[in-house]
Amino acid sequence: MPFGNQVFKKPEFKKISDVVWEIPTSFKQGMNVPARIFATKKIVDAMDLQVYDQITNVANLPGIQKYAFCMPDGHSGYGFPIGGVAAFDPDENGVISPGGIGFDINCGMRLVLTNLTYDQVKPHLKAIVDKLFERVPAGVGSTGFVKLTKDQFRKVVEEGAEWALDNGYAWKEDLERTELNGKAEWADNSKVSPKAIERGFNQIGTLGSGNHYLEIQVVKPENILDKELAKKWGLFPNQIVIMFHCGSRGFGHQIGTDYLQTFLSVMERKYGIKILDRELACAPFNSPEGQDYFKAMACAVNMSFVNRQVILHRIREVFSGVFKQDAEKLGMHMLFDVAHNRASLEEHEVNGKKKKLIVHRKGATGSYPSGREEIPKLYRNDGSPVIIGGSMETGSYLLVGGEKSNETFCSTAHGSGRTMSRTAATRMFRGDELQKDMMQKGIYVKSVSFSGLAEEAGGAYKNIDDVIEATHLAGISRKVCKLIPVGNVKG
């Protein structure tokens, strides 16, 4: 049921396959395309009903192509459902919408390898987590150790990970293992408000709050599901890896807020666009307002890449300090950095014709089949690495772009997906008890607050295995390895 009190209508689905369900345009007046849900029947039957209302509202937007999609981790969000995907043709008055990108712009996942085994790390696990908690600030309003002036920060958000490399926070290979090589080239800081700069300039190198985390994980032998590809990518049985999840913090949120208001003021008056939900405020992509937002969004994209890069730098420092070896000798290579809150200009085929589209992924991950130009050269023959985080109790997944992902504009899920609101979770779970339970399961967790811990209890989320199985069966991403948590830093 929806998180609020409003009642939503469940549609009559057309079953396309065991994992694809279609809502026809007859469901709601004004739908330009059908909506499609990628999920098993079990997930569809349990899905938050507001998802269906939101994804069919998305199907009303101008210039939308083929379908409005929702991934199996879908749950209600702001404007788009989280797990929502839609592509718009700028040549057909296609729009760009902050509600289709998310307010934590370019929020994403980074996976880091080591050559250490669980047996080597286990005696030091508490010390490592405690030091990470100290070195990587978490929680609402947290500030980082990188001290920048506002003018320096404006340079950072245009240079992205290149700035981190130039200033000693990155290895050259890190950029080669990051989407967009860690830099959205079209960023223009003049399109960003002073208020956004004020909110972001001191947050480089911080996790934030909510579902953001920094996790130490183990590769159990039975969880290596594609042995050949896992080995090629540097994974081995009982290996320790590090995964973390964060984004552009208050900087991206303010950019989204600023442009939402701008779009609301011009959308109908200037462009004659009428929408069913003000949270879907938008403007034509090729309009001055649409282009300004796209350039401001790129600044948040770059900030998030730098944020994650500085966090990686701190992680390498902690492991080097504990094991008295250089990070290089510890094999601390980044496997990949992939985001799930961004709009990207990409070429896709629609009705046999190749088009340049603005693809919105809101809580959805890029999942490119082999050969696509969006994939870094290191992985282009394999397909893009896909990192999907689960709850802190259950585990996460590394996947690879599936051959059928062209059907979803090269998109897949981004996480397990909430089944209850954070408020409901804090009523149902106690953070102190959860911490003890996790310790008994062999997971040492440090959190800024017990309430924040309770919000992220495993019981507040869908079963990650069910979500991943749906993407695998649909062929939009394919399982490589499941990663089990043993240590966790929470905001």
Catalytic residue among 313, 340, 414, 472: 414
Q: Are the C-beta atoms of 357 and 345 separated by less than 8 Å?
A: yes
Give every CB contact of residue 400 below 8 A, 6+ residues apart in sequence: 226, 229, 382, 383, 384, 385, 386, 477, 478, 480
Is residue 296 within 8 A of residue 256, CB to CB? The reply is no
CA 110, CA 299: separation in Å to the nearest integer? 19
Determine whether 340 is an active site residue: no
End-to-end alpha-carbon separation of the chain, Å?
Answer: 27
Token duo for residue 252? 């991206």
Contacts of 373 (CB under 8 A, 6+ apart): none
Residue 128's closest CA among 283, 314, 322, 367? 322
Residues labelled as active-site residues: 414
